[in-house]
Structures are given as structure tokens and as C-alpha cells.
Amino acid sequence: MSMLSEKPAMAGRLLAYVDALSEGVAQEMERDPSVFLFGLDVDDHKAIQGSTRGLVQRFGPNRVFGTPLSEDAMTGVAIGAAMAGMRPIHVHIRMDFLMLCMNQLVNIAAKAHYMFGGAVSVPMVVRCMIGKSWGQGAQHSQGLHSLFMHIPGLKVVAPSNAYDAKGLMAAAIRDNNPVVFVEHRLLYFTDAYVPEESYTVELGKARVTAPGTDITLVGVSNMVMECLRARELLAQVGISAEVVDLVSLQPLDSDTVLASASKTGKLLMVDNAWTMCGASAEVLARVAESEEGAGVRMARMGFAPTTCPMSPELEKVFYPNAATIAAKAHSMLRPGSDWMPDEKAAQLSYQMTFRGPF
Amino acid sequence: MSMLSEKPAMAGRLLAYVDALSEGVAQEMERDPSVFLFGLDVDDHKAIQGSTRGLVQRFGPNRVFGTPLSEDAMTGVAIGAAMAGMRPIHVHIRMDFLMLCMNQLVNIAAKAHYMFGGAVSVPMVVRCMIGKSWGQGAQHSQGLHSLFMHIPGLKVVAPSNAYDAKGLMAAAIRDNNPVVFVEHRLLYFTDAYVPEESYTVELGKARVTAPGTDITLVGVSNMVMECLRARELLAQVGISAEVVDLVSLQPLDSDTVLASASKTGKLLMVDNAWTMCGASAEVLARVAESEEGAGVRMARMGFAPTTCPMSPELEKVFYPNAATIAAKAHSMLRPGSDWMPDEKAAQLSYQMTFRGPF
Amino acid sequence: MKDTSDTRRLFRQLLRIRLIEERVAAIYPSDKIKSPIHLSIGQEAISVAVCDVLQPQDIIAVSYRGHAGYLAKGGDLKGMIAEMYGKPAGCAFGKGGSMHLVSAEAGVMGASAVVGTHIPLAAGQALAAKLRGEDKVIVCFFGDGATEEGCFAETLNFAALHKLPLFFVCENNGYAIHSPLKKRWANLDICARVRAYGVPAVRTETSDVTVMRAAAEAAVAAIRDGEGPQFLEAVTYRWLEHVGPNEDYAAGYRSRDEMEPWENEDPVARLAAVMDAAWVEKTRAEIAAEIDEAVEFAEQSPIHQQEDLYRHVYAQ
Amino acid sequence: MKDTSDTRRLFRQLLRIRLIEERVAAIYPSDKIKSPIHLSIGQEAISVAVCDVLQPQDIIAVSYRGHAGYLAKGGDLKGMIAEMYGKPAGCAFGKGGSMHLVSAEAGVMGASAVVGTHIPLAAGQALAAKLRGEDKVIVCFFGDGATEEGCFAETLNFAALHKLPLFFVCENNGYAIHSPLKKRWANLDICARVRAYGVPAVRTETSDVTVMRAAAEAAVAAIRDGEGPQFLEAVTYRWLEHVGPNEDYAAGYRSRDEMEPWENEDPVARLAAVMDAAWVEKTRAEIAAEIDEAVEFAEQSPIHQQEDLYRHVYAQ
Ligand SMILES: Cc1ncc(C[n+]2csc(CCOP(=O)(O)OP(=O)(O)O)c2C)c(N)n1
Ligand SMILES: Cc1ncc(C[n+]2csc(CCOP(=O)(O)OP(=O)(O)O)c2C)c(N)n1
Ligand SMILES: [Mg+2]
Ligand SMILES: [Mg+2]
């Protein structure tokens, strides 16, 4: 099968996601002088929460620079530079702000190669972060990847761990198409084994992150972490869950999902986004359309169908978490019996170390 | 059941979709002085292909006016006016241009009522047209409704006929939320019986447009016409198709779809848009998640997963049509046997009377 | 400046906002406020001066840095503190937080945290007022960074074209987060830019609340006279970090030297010096009591029920 | 104006574009071109003047009204006509049509039909040239309407800030579709607006191609000298309807009187009058033959295969 190897290599050192991002960029900038990185505040001392740390010192202000608050035109600038043969990385501290860039991304970046019959290509990376917690609220918390998945010509990836963050970054930069690179704020300080040398993670392949037999949990970005924890909770009650990390959203490796789901017979997809017309709708639809998918019971979870509230009590209910995922999976397998794991036990350690505000 | 009545009343006169749109607006403007209509070129002699014809003459330039080419700010202006208690209708000659308005629509219009805890509401209508044919090409042809369906707080409707166009327009204007009103260029000169008096078509209800027993064809906007024609073609080979018009995309009446699909056991959804994370993904996912949907065979059709080409030969293949829909339905019902209806017979009469360029 | 009823009114507003912001900053490390806060300390005089010349029916639009505007226009203090605590008693039902203050009663349009977005919204409010023939002025407060967003230029043009009753107030504190003007503007003369769109513009370079008030008064009078939109560039300085309760002069992107002239000119201190000392103390005590009460209110007020999550998605 | 090698070169370009546009208009009613066409007739001199001072390595960015620019910069005629026919032999493989001309060889950046979108793209091209230290000028042609889009203001500021080698050329024909300037701009002095962003601006109000060429020459020289972006407002007039091959003076939104001064000053006619008549006839015949050949090429060239639909979605 063509999915990614089951586990990232246990080689290299433990590295945080945030450092894997900057290392991935730095190695590509070293390798290829046409790579440059820009965007609001990429060159200040906060360095996009550390993910651009050291780049301006190392590569200078011609290749790493901040911009005015003009996301629309700056996206056009990135695309124009890409058409001219550069490989820009345009950084946004929140995915919500991409709504200012939709015209350039949807009407130009996605279409240029096609609309000009191959005469032009647009090799660029749009880095953006999904915000969560500490009252980020309505406009600093959205996971809007499905909007980009909908448009042919764009690629979309969403690494859930430091290994993929670095490897996908290299692959995205080298790709000759516009790639929306979806990061998650709560993952920034999670560690993984990451090789020191440069490597790529292939775009368009999912990964079975943890094996299981009773149900398939498919996660996106940070929700992979929640699924893995849910898997542990489920194991405590004798349920064996397989966790699939989509890794790449467009191209979407539904074959790997399908293989797992047709094996377990149950599929629960958990997205870092709303479900309506979301990635989770697409995954379920693909399974439903397929021969092998006939008979698989399916469900999906994501943001509540509301705007994201600031209130901590409501924010908690707005998101799926390990406990609600486990409970949902449990209800799919054992319909009659009500079960909800202890919320405390379900909290992921990285959530407990994180502290606001931005 | 709660779907819309099977057929629009056969009362009133035959009226074209384009005239139903302007009549719907005119009656609401008459009724409610807080309604106004604006947007690029709404007040010129072409009158958005006739759909704003006569409005400026009747209601004057304070209530019907053109704007500078500033879609982003003009959307903000509409939202601000709506927050102040007006009921703006903002018109776009192509849905593609809404990409310039995404920030205001997604980050403000959709969220204001929630984010401000009910202190504010945004009663506005965003009229936009899907372009098709005559080499509209990459940037004048997109059906992007699923992008809006994804965002809680927005409503989305897509009338397929003049009766719904008028009734939904009244309902959308009276609704206290932002409503994206999706029109289709090829429908503008199709007729239906339309009452002279004002009426509303309820938002959030689908309609069974034509009954059948073997397969359910679900259509959106212009694709409802194609599905109806496909139904005729299928009848010629002894297949009875039921056609469901979604009418409203958000709220989405999946109950009506589900009732039909669980009756026929087969569901083919045909969208005026790409399928990936589209309305068709959502409909299939909902059926797949449901109890009653277990066992329903499903498939979807939509734009080819490419950018829209200008070339007439390729444009033809880019869109689903009555023939390809019928063939797909046939293949779902009679898997072994290959069948393709005669293309000429399949062409809808309105397509033959339409002639470019804009 | 003298101790008159006018200066007392202005001073009271300034002091009140300062003390409220300081209290918010003091509470913040307790983690009771789980929302990003953008304080106005150092910039209060602009909101105070402008709102002092407004009528109750007038509307102001503010950004995520909106505490000062909200308070100066008469937004309820309890509602504001409860909002930061994310309580249903908050002005936005605890769903918005510090960045999304709102008050229909006081005429504070809901605040947005996407920079620049509220500028065209304010124009929409002004258009509505004009279409209905209301005597209403709309004021839009925004930062220097917001003027770089395309919607600002689009809105200037539209407002001038329709002679909207709209007062643009740019709080130019020289920074967008940590990025100084000269890294963002090729021409630092924002008033020239604005005038070229057909909107009259003036600039103040002072913390003197009475000077700013005079500028605002003239602009608002012109708007009420039907002369269309006006623009004020109020040069100012943000004393604390962009977001959060602390100073950040050690971070390296600016030096405390730059701030000192502003601290020396602090209108709160300068006005306090010319006011009757007893009155100042009494006022300070009154305000402190009001703040205590509001904080107590926010802390005691009930938290959300889970069902509240699903309210307000659609208006009925 | 005299019959010199310079004027011959300019005249030949003007005449060629005019004759091509007229031929396209003549073919259009046959429905062989199933693509919306936005003709440049009346506005050709701007493209001709500007492109005459460019080097082969320079790049131009054009909009949906891009035939004149494409041709003036040296875009292939056969590729253009075949593109309008939607044939694989077209410059955009028949996928773009009239609104999306492109030529990597001639330095024509792909054209966009969403107004204003190509302006920041041109800045990106200019940034790339600057980062690589290339001697390259980027020219961006756009209409008066495009200046109302926020991205224009954003791009002006960015280009000025980075001193990009970018020449903004506004073809001000007084209309956006049917909407005249005064319904769209509060201040008609676009050059003042542009200068306020830090970009030097000049205006021409003539059809005289040599006057425009001089303005363009000065601007391009300044850019090559590293002085950063320049702006030219070339006042002009669109003789035909916004989209399509016909006149539309009967529609009521403008009168033919308005056009007549421009027709009287038509640089094609005026230059023809001072040129050697025999040379003019010979040139006209040569061009006609070239056009015949290109049309024949487009008509004879094969149509698409269905599989072509799926090509070019992603670059390899
Ligand atoms: C559209 C958008 N881009 C970026 C951000 C991140 N951001 C928040 S505040 C800010 C700076 C705004 O500066 P200015 O307008 O001068 O206001 P100030 O904070 O100085 O009051 C930025 C870039 C945002 N919230 N919205
Ligand atoms: C963003 C956007 N809005 C609206 C349109 C529809 N439209 C096409 S051309 C045009 C007018 C453009 O006017 P101008 O920039 O002056 O160029 P001209 O056509 O006069 O050359 C408009 C509004 C569009 N294509 N794109
Ligand atoms: Mg600032
Ligand atoms: Mg024009």
C-alpha cells in the first residue's frame, strides 16, 4: 500500500514542532537561494511564536522580512514572485487571516498553472496556524482547511507532529504548486524524534499512527493527538482503535482510510474544523461511494456547529477531545451502554503545560 | 414530513427567473423602507443581465446604487448598515468575486450575532451568480457555495426556478441573518408559474420535484434542470428516478434527501460545483452517518476536479449534463451494461437558446 | 489647563479608564481573565477627547484595543469586566471577550480582532444614518497598522463619495505589534494620503486632551454640518506590550527613552496636578470603589451552561 | 510628427494592433470565438508607447483587456488568435481564452479577469527581479476601475517601501464598464493619490504616441536607475462597448460626442497622414497577410481531446 511508513524514524533528537518548522525552512533556504520567507512579524523577537526564530539573523533581511498589514496584496506578491521562479513562504500567525487572501489564493494561485495552459507555475507555501484556547475567540481559532481543499490546484497539508512538520515543510517548499501549510498552536511545543539532516515527507499520503482492530479513528492535525489519547482510554475498556493521521488533506489519501475502515468496519473521523462540507464530510463521502466502504458504520466530529466562543466553559464544549472522542467511538461499538471516561485522565499533557495569552 | 410542497403552485403567470428576482426585490423594497440594493453596475442599462431592471427608476438612487470596485469594503458597508437595522442586498455579477469578500463574510457577517452574544444581527442578502458557457473560463464560472455552507452563521440558498427565486428572495430579505443567494446564469431565462402577489419560500427545506422509485437524483441550482432531463432519459430505458431539489443549502434539509434515498436505495447527488468538500460530500456524509442510510448506494457528480477551461470542447466535459447524469445513474442501477443516451436529445432547450458573451 | 467643570469631566474619564486598565493588568496574572488583552494605557486621551464631543445617539467603532473607547462612550463597566471573565453577564454574553466589546445602549459597535475590518462596518453604519436622515455621527477608531489594509483605502473613497457622517480617528502609536512605521510606510504623512482621497485630515501630536478635544469638536461639527467624512491622526504611544499586562522595553524593538516624553506629558498626571487635590482623591476613591464592585460582580456572576454554546448562532 | 524610423516603428505597431482588433471584432459574430472579448481599440497607443521603451527581459502584466499589451510586447499573434478559439495551439493551450493571454517568451505575465488582481502579482515579479539583482523592469497595465480595489493601495505602499522596479500604467478611459469616474471617485486626481503613497506620478491626456513614449521613457529610466516605482496615468478612451465587438453609444450611458475628439486625434490616422503613402499601404498589406495567416492557423489547428481537461491541474 502507498501510505506513509507506520512511524517516523526514531532517529535524530527530540525536537519541538516549532523548532522543526524553522529547521525545515532553514535547510531549504540553505539549499535553494530562491526560497524566501515573509509575512507580518516574521522577523521580530517573538518570531511567530518561535517558528521563524533565527532565520533573519541567518539569512538576512532580504530573504526574511516583515510586511505591512496588507495580506491580500502580499499574497499576490508571493504568487507573482513564485511565477517569476522564486519559492516564497508567506506566513500568517492565524489561519483566520487567510480570508483576506482568498481572492489571490483561489482565483490566481490555484488556477494559474491551468488557466495559462502550463506556461506558469506557482511554487509557494502559505504557512498558517490554527489558534486554540485562552479565549482566542471567534476570529483567531478557525480551522479553514476545507475551503482550500475544495479548490483544484491548491495542495493542503496539516502536520500533527514535529517529524512531519519538518519533512512536509521541505516537501511543500520543493513542490511546484501552492501549498497551504496548516499548523496548530497547541502542537508547537510537542516533541518528536527528528533527524538532523534534511528529508521530505511525501505529500498526499496518510499514515496509520497506531494499529487497532475495532474502529478506525481518523484525525487531522492536533486532533490526531486527541485520537491517540482516546485510543488509550478505549483500550482501558477493551476496545482496540486504529488511528490514522491524514497528514495531507489535498491530495487526500482516502485509500489508507478505506483500507483501515474496511478492516475495522467502523470509522470515526475527527477534524480540527467544522464538519459541514469539511474534510470529514469528504472522507465519509469517499468511503460511502466506494465498494469496500459498503457496510462501514461512520460518524464524524469537529468543532460544534457554532462560532468559537471566548468563554472557557463553552470553549471546552466547542472542541472534540479525547474523552468525547472515546465516548463517541464507544457508542458506535456498544450502542446500548453509556460510557464517558474521566475528564481529568483524558487531558493531554501538552494542554496542561500550555499557558496564554497569544 | 417537512419538505416543501411537491410543486410550486401553478398559479400566476409564466415569468422568467430574471424577472422573478427583480420582482421579489421590488416587492420587498415596497414593503420595507429599510431594504436597499447596491453593488457594481446594478443601476446601469444592462441591470445585471436584467435582474435589477427598473429598480433604480422605481426606488431612486438612494436605495439602488452602483459602487466603486471595492468588493471587500462594500461588503463591510453592507454588514455595518445591516447592524444598524437596514436590510441591504449586495449584488455580485459573478460568485467568483465573493473571494474578495471572504474576510467580511466569514469573520464578521457570520460571527457577529454570536460573537456579540446576540447584541447585534446582520440581516443582509448577498446575491451572486454562477457563470457558465461561452468561455467564461477559470474566474467567471465557479460555484463556491460550499465555502459558505462550511461557516456557521451564514445561510445559503440556490433557487433552481423562477418560483423559488422570487419566494426565496423575499424570505432571504426578511431573514435576520446573512444569506448568500446563489443564482445561475443559465437559469435567468427559464420560466415558471409565479404568483403576482408577494410570498415566501421557507429557507431550509428541500423539495421533491419529480417522483420516482428506483434512484434519487439530488440537484443544486441549474443541476436540478439537468437531473430532470436525465430523469426523462432514464424513463426511456425503464428507470424511474426521483428528483430532489435542495433549494436551501444551509440550513440543509437532509431529511428529505434521506427519506427519498432510503426509499429508492440509490442516491446520486449532482452539484454545480466541485465535489471535494462540497455540498455533495456533505449530503453523502449525512446519509452515511444515518441509521436509515445504511445500505444506500451513493455517488456524486460535479465539476471535473480541474479549473474551468475556456475551450468549448473541454468546457463540455467539465460539467455534468443530462446525458452523463443519466449514464451514471444507469450504471449504478445496472452495473454490467454500458449505456449512454444520445447527446443531442439530452440537450436542454434553454441551453440551445442561450448565446454569449457575458 | 485649569480646574474647571470641563477639565474635571475630562480628567475623571481619563483617570477612570487608566485605573480600570491598571486593574485589568493587575488581575491578569491570576489567570482569571482567559482572553488576550490589548490595553490602552497611554492612549486614553484620544477616546476621552473624541467621545466628549459626541451625543448619545452617535456610534463608535473600536478594535480589539477597545477598552478606552468602550468606556469613554459610556459602555457599562460591569459588562466589560464580566465579558473578560467570559461570563454570561458580560456585554457580549461572555462569548466575545476583551477583543469583542459591544454596547447597543451606549452606541459601541461590536469590536473586531481582524485588523481593519471595522472600518467599512463603520461606513455602513454611517450610510444607514444618512439613508434614514438621522442626526448621527459615526466615529471609527483604529491604529496606524489598520491603514495599510486595502479596505481602509476603499472605505475612504466610498465615504468621501457619499459624504458619509463618518469620523476616522487613527491612533498612531507608531507600531503594529513590534513593527515601526518606517518598516511599513514609504511616506509617513498619512494625512496627505487621506486628503488625496477627498477626506479632510488633521494631525495632533500631543497628549493634551483639550487640544485633541478641540480637533475632534471641529471635525464632528463639520460632519454634523453635512460636510462629509473627516480624519484625525492622533499621534500617541502605547506604554505596555502589544498584548498583555506588562512593559516590554527589554525586548529590544523599542527603547524606554522613546516612551519617556509621553510619560512626562501624561495627561492623567498633568491634569491631576492642576485639580483640587481633595477632589482628585475623592474621585479616585469613587472610581476605585466602582471598579471593586465591577470586579466583584464579574467574579461572582454565574458561569455558562453548556447549552449556551448553541445560542446566538442564528438570529431569530 | 515626421516620417522617421522611430515613427514608422510606432505606427506599424499601432496599425497592427488596430487591424488585429478589428479583425477579431469582425470574426466575433460568427461565434467562432466563444470567449468574452474586451477590445483595446482607441487605447492602443499606451501599450505601444510603453512597450517601445522596454527590453526583451522586461515583463508586462495585463488584464482581461490585454490584447494590445500582449501584441506590443511581442506576444505571438497565432498563439493569441488560437487562444481565442480555444485551441491547444493557443498561447494558454486554449484554456484561458481572450481574457487570459500569456507569453513566457515575450515577457507577458498571465492575464487575470478579476479586476486588480494582477497588480500585486506584478509587484511580486518586481520583488523577484530585485532579490535576484536582475536588470528588469516590470510594467503593470490596468484600468481606472482597478485603482479602487484595496490591493492597489496595498501594492503602491509595498512597492514604494521596497523601491521595486515597477511601472504602474493606469489606462484611464473614464469608465468601469458603464460607470463613469465621478460616480466612483471623490477626488479625480489619481496622481495625487498615488504620490501620497510615495510613488512619483505623471499624467498624459493625449493620443499622441510620441508624447506618451517620452513619459514612459523617463519613468522606465528612473526605474532602471534604482529610483523605485513610477506611475503613469494615461487618459484615453474606449471606442467600443466594454465587452464585445460593437459600439454602444445608443445605450445612453455616454454619448458619441464624448468620443469624437479622440477619434479626431486617432494616432493611427494621424501618423498614417504623415507617413509615406506607399509604405503605409505596403505595411497594411503585410499586416493583413499576417493576420490572414494567423486566423487560418487558428481555424485549422486541431481542437482539444477530452483528456486535455485533466492536464495542468498541478505542476509536476
Ligand atoms: C488582518 C489581521 N492581520 C494581522 C493581525 C495580527 N495583529 C493583531 S494587532 C496587529 C497590529 C495592529 O497595529 P495597529 O493597527 O497600529 O494597532 P495597535 O495594535 O497599534 O493599536 C496585528 C498585525 C490581525 N489581528 N488581523
Ligand atoms: C473584482 C472584480 N469585480 C468586478 C468585475 C466585473 N468587471 C469586469 S471589468 C470591470 C470594470 C473595470 O474597469 P477598469 O479597471 O477601468 O478597466 P476597463 O475595462 O475600463 O479597461 C468590472 C467591474 C471583475 N471582473 N472583477
Ligand atoms: Mg499601532
Ligand atoms: Mg476604465
pLDDT, tens only, B285-303: 999 999 999 899 999 999 9
Spatial separation of the C-alpha atoms in residues B349 and A162, rounded to whole Å: 57
Is residue B67 a contact partner of residue D183, using CB atoms and an 8 Å limit? no
Q: Across all residues in chain B, what is the average pLDDT? A: 94
- What are the pLDDT digits (tens) for B254-289? 999 999 999 999 999 999 999 999 999 999 999 999
Q: What DSSP letter does each residue of A1-49 carry, written as one string?
A: --SBPSS--S-SEEEEHHHHHHHHHHHHHHH-TTEEEE-TTTTSTTTTT
Rg (CA), chain C: 19
Q: Which of D142, D169, D177 is the pocket-test mutation for ligand 2 (most atoms within 8 Å of CB)? A: D177
Please count the CA atoms within 13 angstroms of the CA of D27 that sit on its side-chain side: 24
User: What are the CA-CA distances from residue A241 to residues A233, A260, A272, A296, D13 (Å)?
Assistant: 10, 10, 19, 15, 71
Is the CB of residue D111 less than 8 Å from the CB of residue C110? Answer: no
Which ligand gives the minimal distance to the CA of C151?
1
Pocket perturbation via mutation, ligand 1, pick of A44, A46, A48, A69 by most ligand atoms within 8 A of CB: A69
Question: Residue C65: helix, strand or coil by DSSP?
Answer: coil
- Annotated active-site residue A197? The verdict is no
Residue with grid cell 488511528, as numbered in its chain: A243
D260: cell is 469624437
Show Cβ contacts of residue D204 under 8 Å, excluding neighbours closer than 6 positions.
D211, D212, D215, D232, D233, D234, D235
pLDDT band at A7 (very low <50, low <70, confident <90, very high): low
D42 CB near ligand 2 (under 6 Å): no
Region B165-185 average pLDDT? 98
- State yes or no: pLDDT of A353 exceeds 50: no
Count of CB contacts below 8 A, B vs C? 148
Question: Which cell is B336 given?
Answer: 454490467
pLDDT in tens, A148-165: 999 999 999 999 999 999
Whether the predicted pLDDT of A347 surpasses 70: no
Query: Which residues of D133-176 form beta strands (DSSP E)?
Result: 138-143, 166-172, 175-176
Rounded to an integer, the average pLDDT of B249-257 is 98
CB contact under 8 A, C150 and A97: no
Q: Which chain A residue's Cα is nearest to B105?
A: A99
**CB D109, CB A64: distance < 8 Å:** no
Q: B357 pLDDT exceeds 50?
A: no
Give the confidence band of A8 by pLDDT, cuts at 50, 70, 90.
low
Spatial CA neighbour of A197 closest among A224, A163, A156, A152: A163
Largest Cα–Cα separation, chain D = 54
- Asked whether residue B358 carries a pLDDT value surpassing 60, the answer given is no
| Average of per-residue pLDDT values in chain A | 94
Distance CA A345, CA D172 (A): 67
Interface test with C, best of D117, D119, D144, D161 (most C CBs within 10 A): D161
Average pLDDT over residues A74-79: 99
User: Which parts of chain C fold into alpha helices (H)?
Assistant: 5-27, 44-52, 67-72, 77-84, 118-131, 150-161, 190-196, 209-224, 256-264, 267-274, 277-300
Q: Which residue has the cell 456498544?
A: A334
- The region of weakest confidence among A183-187, B261-265, B344-348, D137-141 is B344-348
Residue D296: how many other CB atoms lie within 10 Å = 12
The minimal CB distance from D97 to the residues B68, B137, B358 is found for: B137
Cα separations (Å) of A118 from A171, C284, D39, D64, D94?
Answer: 21, 70, 25, 18, 11
Residue of B nearest to A300 (CA): B289
Q: What is the mean pLDDT of residues B193-211?
A: 97
Distances (CA, A) of B351 to B230, B311, B320, B354: 15, 17, 14, 5
- Which residue ranges in chain D fall short of pLDDT 50? none
Verify whether the Cβ–Cβ distance D148 to C160 is below 8 Å: no
- Find, among D41, D35, D38, the residue nearest to D17 by Cα: D41
Distance, in Å, from the CA atom of B42 to the CA atom of B247, rounded to the nearest integer, reads 25
Is the previous residue joined to B251 through a cis bond, with omega within 30 degrees of 0? yes
D5-310: CATH topology is Rossmann fold (3.40.50)
The pLDDT-based confidence of B133 (bands split at 50, 70, 90) is confident
Where in chain C are the domains? 5-310
pLDDT band at A350 (very low <50, low <70, confident <90, very high): very low
> Angle at the Cα of B60 (from B54 to B62), degrees rounded to 5?
130
Give the integer Cα–Cα distance in Å for D220 and D215: 9
**The pLDDT of residue A356:** 40
Q: What angle do CA C62, C65, C67 make, to 5 degrees?
A: 80
Query: Sheet holding B248-250: strands in order across?
Result: B64-65, B35-39, B87-92, B124-130, B178-184, B155-157, B248-250
Distance CA D112, CA A293 (A): 42
pLDDT at residue A342 in the model: 80
What confidence category does residue B356 fall into, taking pLDDT thresholds of 50, 70 and 90? Answer: very low
Res. B350: pLDDT tops 50: no
Section B86-115 average pLDDT: 98
* Catalytic, out of B113, B140, B184, B330: B140
pLDDT of residue A5: 67
| C165: its cell numbers | 457622517
Closest in C92, C104, C315 to B176, CB measured:
C315
Q: Which residues on chain A are in Cβ contact (under 8 Å) with C63?
A: none
**What chain A residue is nearest to D140 in terms of C-alpha separation?**
A80
**Closest listed residue to residue A227, CA positions, set A201, A203, A204, A206:** A206
* Ligand 2 pocket, residue D114 CB under 6 Å: yes
Whether residue B11 is predicted with pLDDT greater than 80 in this model: the reply is no
Cα–Cα dist B306/A155, whole Å: 13
Q: What is the mean pLDDT of residues A82-93?
A: 98
Q: Is B113 a catalytic residue?
A: no
Could you say which residues of chain C have pLDDT below 50?
A: none
Which of A9-23, A94-108, C221-235, D179-193 is predicted with the least confidence, judged by mean pLDDT? A9-23
Model confidence, pTM: 0.97
Distance of CA C184 to the CA centre of its chain: 23
| Burial tier of D202 (Cβ tally within 10 Å: 0-12, 13-18, 19+) | middle
Determine the atom of ligand 1 nearest the C-alpha atom of A139.
Answer: 25
**Domains assigned to chain A:** 13-194 (3.40.50.970), 207-353 (3.40.50.920)
pLDDT > 50? residue A352: no
pLDDT over 70 at B89, yes or no: yes
